[in-house]
Amino acid sequence: MGFFAKLKEKLFHKKTKETVKNKYVSGLDKSRKNFVDKLAELKARSTKVDEEYFEELEQILILSDIGVNTALNIVEATRQEVKLKGITDLGKINEILVDKMFIAYANNEVVDTEINLVKDGLTIVLVVGVNGVGKTTSIAKLCNKYKKEGHKVLLAAADTFRAGAVAQLEIWANRVGVDIVTGKENSDPSSVVYDAVSKAQKENYDILICDTAGRVQTKQNLMDELSKMNRIINKVCGHNANDVLLIIDATTGQNGVLQAKAFFDAVQVTGIVLTKMDSTSKGGIILAIKDELNIPVKFVCFGEQLEDIEEFDLDNYLYGLTRGMEEEM
């Protein structure tokens, strides 16, 4: 059974909701056209399997923002299997390529895509990211998602530095229907976190989501600020934040990977939220982040509505990215 047949079978047995699958298909439309069309063009103009063919495969992956090192590793693994099995069918080679993309992400591990929710207790999530990546709307989407799932959600507006950040978050909190803890503009963000954690503990909230400053002067300042927040959380709850989510704009491509590296060097990021996936034609950034930093993508956003956020699913991602590709084989 080929990779695409196995993928369809997995999705069938997972009983993936059709609405979720359709979101991946429509949301990855630009990326799919960019990726599949280039593979089809390469296959159409190629007459044999040679080094030039594999070099062009590398270029296609790199131009899809998969990243140079990741692309080289995927194509090398493809080359080795093709050579070992003596495969000359270009369609089969492209299918092997997608299989290696799956392996590059999963790496024989269980892919952790969920928030570490605490049973019968408070789950605390810190959200970080530079200004302009969709951090505020992503926080609103997360609040909406967990509220609809029946959780009691509290929001902490700890980005006290950006003008208007607190007011903007208050608007979203009212729209979603969740409570919010705020402080004065330019006040100590850790004091907001303290007030929020205390309230969450006292009033039995299930999830506390903390917005943080989108930009600080240096990595050291960022590390110090988030470390202070964690010390406060630890003092009140006896543990650090359960998750630290980094928001990245998918349309920024490799710049997004560089952002992830910068934050990863400063704080212990546990997961990525990718925004604007429906606006990019280079959806390979998901593979680059996982391969280069080993940080899992936990959520993907495919639009501007509150419901346009999904837990990342590798099978649905590859299905959405390559749908119709088997017809080109």
Nearest-5° Cα angle at 135, 138 to 21? 35
Q: What's the pLDDT score for residue 266?
A: 75
- Rounded Cα gap, residues 64 and 284, in angstroms: 5
Average pLDDT over residues 99-110: 76
Identify whether residues 232 and 106 lie together within a single domain. no
- Do 186 and 274 belong to one domain? yes
Reply yes or no on whether the pLDDT at 308 is more than 90. yes
On the question of pLDDT at 251 being above 60, the answer is: yes
The pLDDT value given to residue 131: 82
Average pLDDT over residues 292-302: 89
What percent of the chain stands above pLDDT 90?
Answer: 45
How far apart CA 103 and CA 111 sit, in angstroms, is: 11
Half-sphere exposure (Cβ direction) of 119: Cα atoms closer than 13 Å: 0
- Supply φ then ψ for residue 79, to 5 degrees: -55, -45
The answer for residues whose C-beta is within 8 angstroms of residue 205's C-beta and 6 or more apart is 122, 152, 153, 154, 179, 199
Task: Reply yes or no on whether the pLDDT at 218 is more than 80.
Answer: no
**Number of structural domains in the chain:** 2
Q: Is residue 116 included in any domain, yes or no?
A: no
Same structural domain for residues 158 and 32?
A: no
Whether 80 is covered by a domain: the verdict is: yes
> What would you report as the CA-atom Rg of the chain, rounded to the nearest whole angstrom?
21
Any domain includes 255: yes
pLDDT of residue 181: 96
CB 192 within 8 A of CB 182: yes
CA 88, 61, 280: angle at the middle one, nearest 5?
A: 135
Of 111-115, 147-151, 194-198, 209-213, give the lowest mean pLDDT range: 111-115
Q: Bigger pLDDT: 303 or 155?
A: 155
Residue closest to 65 by CA, chosen among 262, 302, 269, 289: 289
How far is the C-alpha of 75 from the C-alpha of 47, rounded, in Å?
19
Asked whether residue 170 carries a pLDDT value surpassing 60, the answer given is yes
In this prediction, residues 72-78 reach a mean pLDDT of: 94
Q: Which residue has the tokens 């999963």?
A: 106
Does the pTM exceed 0.85?
yes
For residue 79, the domain's CATH number is 1.20.120.140
Q: What is the pLDDT of residue 11?
A: 66
* Residue 108 scores a pLDDT above 60: no
Most confident of 37-41, 80-84, 131-135, 313-317: 80-84
Position 15 scores a pLDDT of 60
Q: Kindly state whether residues 156 and 276 are assigned to the same domain.
A: yes
Q: pLDDT per residue over 25-72, tens digit each? A: 888 898 888 888 899 899 999 988 999 999 999 999 998 888 888 899
Q: Is residue 118 part of a domain?
A: no
How long a stretch of residues is the chain?
329
Q: What is the pLDDT of residue 123?
A: 96
**91 and 168, same domain (yes or no):** no
Smallest Cα–Cα separation from 266: which of 309, 307, 215, 313? 215
198 & 224 share domain: yes
| Residue 287 scores a pLDDT above 70 | yes
CATH assignment of the domain containing 231: 3.40.50.300
What is the average pLDDT score of the chain?
A: 87
The domain of 145 spans: 123-313
Q: Are residues 145 and 256 in the same domain?
A: yes
Predicted confidence band of residue 225 (pLDDT cuts 50, 70, 90): confident
Contacts of 139 (CB under 8 A, 6+ apart): 127, 155, 169, 172, 209, 211
Same-domain status, 71 and 87: yes
- SS in 3 state form for the chain? CCHHHHHHHHHHHHCCCHHHHHHHHHHCHHHHHHHHHHHHHHHHHCCCCCHHHHHHHHHHHHHCCCCHHHHHHHHHHHHHHHHHHCCCCHHHHHHHHHHHHHHHHHCCCCCCCCCCCCCCCCEEEEEECCCCCCHHHHHHHHHHHHHHCCCCEEEEECCCCCCCHHHHHHHHHHHHCCEEECCCCCCCHHHHHHHHHHHHHHCCCCEEEEECCCCCCCHHHHHHHHHHHHHHHHHHHCCCCCEEEEEEEHHHCHHHHHHHHHHHHHCCCCEEEEECHHHCCCCCHHHHHHHHHCCCEEEEECCCCCCCEEECCHHHHHHHHHCCHHHHC
Sheet containing 271-275: which strands, arranged edge to edge? 179-181, 153-157, 207-211, 123-128, 243-249, 271-275, 297-301, 309-311
Is 132 in the same domain as 153?
Answer: yes
